[in-house]
Amino acid sequence: MDYQGTVIRPPSEAESIIMQVTVGCAHNRCTFCGAYQGVRFRLKDEATVDGDLRYAARHFRHLNRIFLADGDVLILDQHRLAPLLVKIRERLPWVRRIRLYGSGRSLRAKTLAELEALKALGLDRIYLGLESGDDAVLSAVAKGSTAAQMIAAGRRARQAGIFLSVTVLLGLAGVRGSQGHALATAEALNQMAPNQIAALTVMPVPGTPLYHDLRAGRFSLPDWKGILRELKTMLQHLTLDKTQFQANHASNFLPLDCRLARDKEAALARIDQALAGRLPLMPDYLRSL
């Protein structure tokens, strides 16, 4: 397989074929993200992608899922993305599920009919980074979309019948904006109604604007208690049902994996136990992105 630069995938795609279709991220301006520093976004040529499909056909017959990397493959025009999904179905007929990252911008650029067509061709899951439902936070981190735009994008994916996994970032608003960020993010998630929510904790990456702000004293990251209080507020105000809520990424202080609304009270009790010192936290040396 041809891999160029840093290839990022969601943790849940560990058992998938990872095929890099684009290099980098079309937006690549978020102040907290260091994944593609200095990388110019580009589409890989069709010959290279075809070579990867041939390789996958020879070596990955035991894997029935494929994740299309890098940062926002959904940004591809429909006339290029749809034929790619057709090729995957033709050349890897045992693959039943195709997943990729999507942004608010790329989801809004697709019509409902286009998303439904991609769904019919095997696209079953889109990973969307909401990060925050607070417009002030989204602007500060240069996300490139408002909360209303992100909600509309997520709803379009759900309307097309595509499984929607949404990522939010604890600590992104700093100390002062922590609770407002938690409340606004819960409200955005309630309106979006994703199938899955993944809460990660911000870990400023050297070289990023957020890291420079932290070093210069312009940004203050909440401590572990502040992060857990933020997580608690967000979870308290979620009114979703049959949504998987996970805070089990390696960046988090307290692993959570629950089904809303069934397990909500148990998850809140677990947070309270951790705040009271009755549950161990993930030590800093084990936390990572």
Read off the pLDDT of residues 75-105 as tens digits, 9 standing for 90 and up: 999 999 999 999 999 999 999 999 999 999 9
pLDDT higher than 90, residue 195: yes
* Torsion sign, CA atoms 263, 266, 272, 276: negative
pLDDT at 71: 85
In a domain, 5, yes or no: no
Backbone torsions φ then ψ of 229, nearest 5 degrees: -65, -40
Whether residue 284 lies inside any domain: the answer is no
Query: Band of the pLDDT at 38, cuts 50, 70, 90?
Result: confident
pTM of the model: 0.96
In Å, how far are 45, 168, 228 from 26, measured between CA atoms? 16, 20, 32
**61: CB partners within 8 A, 6+ apart:** 94
**One-letter amino acid of 102:** G
Any domain includes 282: no
Q: Could you tell me the two tokens for 247?
A: 């805070």
Q: How far apart are CA 189 and CA 182, in angstroms?
A: 11
Q: Is residue 3 part of a domain?
A: no
Quick check: is 4 in a domain?
no
* Per-residue pLDDT, 230: 98
Answer yes or no: is 80 within a domain: yes
Segment 107-133, tens digit of pLDDT = 999 999 999 999 999 999 999 999 999
Instruction: Note down the domain range covering 103.
Output: 11-277
H or E element in which residue 84 lies:
helix 78-91
- Does residue 185 surpass a pLDDT of 90? yes
* Tokens 């790619």 sit on residue: 84
1 within a domain of the structure (yes/no): no
Sign of CA dihedral 39, 41, 42, 48: positive
- pLDDT surpasses 90 at 218: yes
Confidence of residue 199 (pLDDT cuts 50, 70, 90): very high
Q: How many distinct structural domains can be found in the chain?
A: 1
DSSP 83: H
Question: Residue 265 sits in a domain of what CATH number?
Answer: 3.20.20.70
In a domain, 286, yes or no: no
Least confident of 37-41, 57-61, 146-150, 233-237: 37-41
